[in-house]
Amino acid sequence: VLIFPFTIHATDDQAFLKQAVMDMLYTRLSAKDRNIVLELDPATEKQALKIGLDNNADYILMGSLTLLGESVSTDARLIRTADQESLVIFNRSGRDHGAVIEHVDALAAQINQEVFGSEKSGAASTIPEQQKEKSATDDSLRALETSAPDLNLCVLYREIF
């Protein structure tokens, strides 16, 4: 699964949410024998599909968060790269920004169940509590890889010209 940064639509700076959503999706989708790749640069769907195919990813995950006042809307799609079919189309809304966590939990659960046939991720519990609080810098990504040795973590660094 190649996870692209979610687009954040908000009137104020909510940049921290991009990394938070990626961190949450990484831990919630991780499982033994499943590769999760974090793409650090945003892309259009067409670009994302090409990047996914070029990197032999079976799926790409893209989405957005819309923050309007206290309300939040989360929209996402998991797309199979081979035939460009949307396997999971997700949308939820909530009355406060804290609903983002519930939305990410529900999205990951839906992907795990509908696509991978599992109820929930097995690797999330192997991530130490202090790791959950850190942002995903290079050091924390290496810590994730060390704390969950059954996972193959790859982060793509790319410049878009």
Contact 32, 123 (CB under 8 A): yes
| pLDDT for the residue numbered 148 | 41
Q: What is the mean pLDDT of residues 73-92?
A: 97
- In this structure, how many other beta carbons lie within 10 angstroms of the beta carbon of residue 63? 21
Cα distance between residue 102 and residue 94, in whole Å: 9
Q: Is the pLDDT of residue 143 over 70?
A: no
| pLDDT for the residue numbered 44 | 94
Q: pLDDT band at residue 106, thresholds of 50, 70 and 90?
A: very high
CB neighbour burial string for 103-129, b if at least 16 within 10 angstroms, e if fewer: bbeebbbbbbeebeeeeebebbebbee
pLDDT in tens, 5-51: 999 999 998 888 999 999 999 999 998 888 899 988 889 999 999 99
Q: Is the pLDDT of residue 108 over 80?
A: yes
Supply the angle between the helices 99-114 and 16-29 in degrees, to the nearest 10.
Answer: 30
Cα distance between residue 119 and residue 155, in whole Å: 26
Cα distance between residue 39 and residue 29, in whole Å: 15
How does DSSP classify residue 134?
A: S
Contact 52, 74 (CB under 8 A): no
Cα distance between the two ends of the chain: 24
pLDDT in tens, 54-76: 999 999 999 999 999 999 999 99
